[in-house]
């Protein structure tokens, strides 16, 4: 059975003066999840969203809150983000000294758990953890800023990750998500490699002067019809 193909719209790229309107257009257009890039200015050289934004958005949509913690020692803030309404918490393996402990902490709060890998991080670092997680997020750019160039070797990385997941018999449990310069071309390559969840930002839904509703519809149609 074909695994559901997921649009997770990156709210970091949205117009914050019209955030409620943007969320409505995304939902109406067929978006599945809202992606919150949480950056601390230490793990990545940028500072972005926090739990108050998630709490506010949670009240106006039925879409899942897909929270990507690009922060040092994320275990300190797990409860805070869960209480704000997170449905999914993804942490970077590079930011955790004791990654298994962090995963167990997230699972105790009854939300889905993901592990993110920077482009150069080896897949072997998560192989033993696969039975415990719901999502693997492959960064196809170096994290921190929107609008970067796609890193080509991440397509092969997704392909090898898919093989590992199948070998462990977890293909129906784990979503493979990719974040970074997601457009029609890169999405096609990543679908063929085995990805099924895509973080959509300035290269697809939030293009300059974009019609967000139309672009979301087009991405939905692209994912649903691509063979």
Residue 110 has a CB neighbour count (10 Å cut-off) of: 8
* SS3 assignment, position 97: coil
- DSSP secondary structure letters along 119-151: TTS-GGGGGGGGGG-SEEEEESS-TT-SSPPP-
- Closest CA relative to residue 56, chosen from 89, 31, 23, 32: 23
Decide: residue 16, CB within 10 A, 0-12 exposed, 13-18 middle, 19+ buried.
exposed
73 is a catalytic site residue: no
Residues near 194 by beta carbon (within 8 Å), at least 6 away in sequence: 158, 159, 161, 162, 163, 165, 176
Q: Which of 15, 32, 37, 66 is catalytic?
A: 37
Catalytic pick from 32, 175, 179, 224?
Answer: 179
Could you confirm whether 211 is annotated as catalytic? no
Name beta bridge partners: 178: 138, 198
Active site residues: 37, 179
């Amino acid at each position: 059975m074909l695994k559901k193909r997921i649009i997770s719209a990156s709210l970091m790229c949205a117009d914050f003066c019209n955030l409620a309107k943007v969320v409505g257009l995304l939902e109406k257009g067929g978006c599945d999840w809202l992606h919150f890039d949480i950056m601390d200015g230490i793990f990545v050289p940028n500072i972005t969203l926090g739990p108050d934004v998630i709490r506010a958005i949670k009240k106006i949509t039925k879409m899942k809150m897909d929270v990507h913690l690009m922060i040092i020692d994320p275990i300190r803030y797990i409860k805070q983000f869960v209480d704000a309404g997170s449905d999914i918490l993804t942490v970077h393996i590079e930011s955790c000294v004791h990654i298994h402990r962090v995963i167990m902490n997230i699972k105790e709060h009854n939300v889905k758990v993901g592990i993110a890998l920077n482009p150069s991080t080896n897949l072997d670092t998560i192989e033993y953890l696969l039975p415990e997680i719901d999502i693997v997020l492959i960064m196809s750019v170096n994290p921190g800023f929107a609008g970067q160039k796609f890193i080509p070797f991440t397509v092969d990385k997704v392909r090898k990750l898919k093989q590992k997941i199948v070998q462990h018999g977890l293909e129906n449990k784990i979503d493979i998500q990719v974040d970074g310069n997601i457009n029609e071309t890169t999405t096609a390559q990543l679908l063929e490699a085995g990805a099924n969840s895509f973080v959509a930002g300035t290269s697809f839904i939030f293009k300059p002067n974009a019609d967000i509703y139309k672009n979301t519809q087009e991405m939905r149609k692209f994912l649903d019809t691509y063979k």
